Chains A and B, each alone.
Chain A
């Protein structure tokens, strides 16, 4: 079983749609959780951290359920520029150098069309 599992998609949605991505992780000792975005042939970039209470950043909402070991990302009012691969990421530790040791899911491909 992979440590971090995501539905690879692809998800094809029209502009303005709401889309949700799900992710599960197997290491119950995981402490830090993130969503990264990766454009084609580019480096991953941090989209947002995910906190236990859930958090929102504009059109993006992230949720974490530690009991179910489940992470989600909701994108509202999709834009063409949201087209990318979304990577679910966990870390077994929090703080210091541990942020560099990340476990990535395989990524979910999103295409937003006009």
Chain B
């Protein structure tokens, strides 16, 4: 177990709805990254949060947004869901400061199905 927890584990939504996924980072980690993994593909970087600020974003539209809280937990919000948003959403935490080894710890993911 990595100490990174995600909720919920599974979610079913319909097209056009909005969804919020949650992630608790491992103790001592101040950086959270979110990834989308479609079936048969590798994870794709969505964005990263460091000390409550977005710190890098992949090729995802603005309807994908996030937050990081003072305790370094994080949320991923997706508006106006599309069928192609169906995927496993992975959260990963790491320590982004100097002296850290940067090793990434992944949560077990949220499987989102959009019907």
Q: A96-B96, A99-B104 are in contact. Are A43 and B109 (CB under 8 A)?
A: yes
Residue of B nearest to A103 (CB): B45
Give chain B residues whose Cβ lies under 8 Å from the Cβ of A4: 42
- Give per-residue flags for A66-91: 1 if the beta carbon is below 8 A from chain B beta carbons, else 0: 00000000000000000000010100
Among the listed A44, A95, A97, which residue makes an inter-chain contact with B43, where contact means beta carbons less than 8 Å apart?
A44
Give chain A residues whose Cβ lies under 8 Å from the Cβ of B90: 43-44
Give chain B residues whose Cβ lies under 8 Å from the Cβ of A46: 103-104
Task: State the CA gap A51–B1 with chains docked (Å).
Answer: 27
Give chain B residues whose Cβ lies under 8 Å from the Cβ of A104: 35, 42-44
Task: State the CA gap A96–B41 with chains docked (Å).
Answer: 27
Residue of A nearest to B57 (CB): A101
A109 smallest CB distance to B (angstroms): 9
Residue of A nearest to B2 (CB): A43
Contacting pair A107 B42 (CB below 8 A): yes
> Cβ of B72 < 8 Å from any Cβ of A?
no
Contacting pair A100 B31 (CB below 8 A): yes
Contacting pair B42 A106 (CB below 8 A): yes
Give chain B residues whose Cβ lies under 8 Å from the Cβ of A87: 42-43
Give chain B residues whose Cβ lies under 8 Å from the Cβ of A96: 96-98, 100, 102
A37 smallest CB distance to B (angstroms): 11
Task: State the CA gap A100–B94 with chains docked (Å).
Answer: 7
> Cβ of B56 < 8 Å from any Cβ of A?
yes
A100 smallest CB distance to B (angstroms): 4
> Cβ of B92 < 8 Å from any Cβ of A?
yes
Contacting pair A43 B107 (CB below 8 A): yes
Task: State the CA gap A105–B41 with chains docked (Å).
Answer: 8
Within residues 82 to 98 of chain B, which ones have a CB less than 8 A from any CB in chain A? Answer: 90, 92, 94, 96-98
Contacting pair B96 A97 (CB below 8 A): yes
Contacting pair B104 A102 (CB below 8 A): yes
Residue of A nearest to B55 (CB): A97
Task: State the CA gap A50–B109 with chains docked (Å).
Answer: 26
The interface of chain A, by Cβ under 8 A from chain B, is 4, 8, 42-46, 87, 89, 95-107
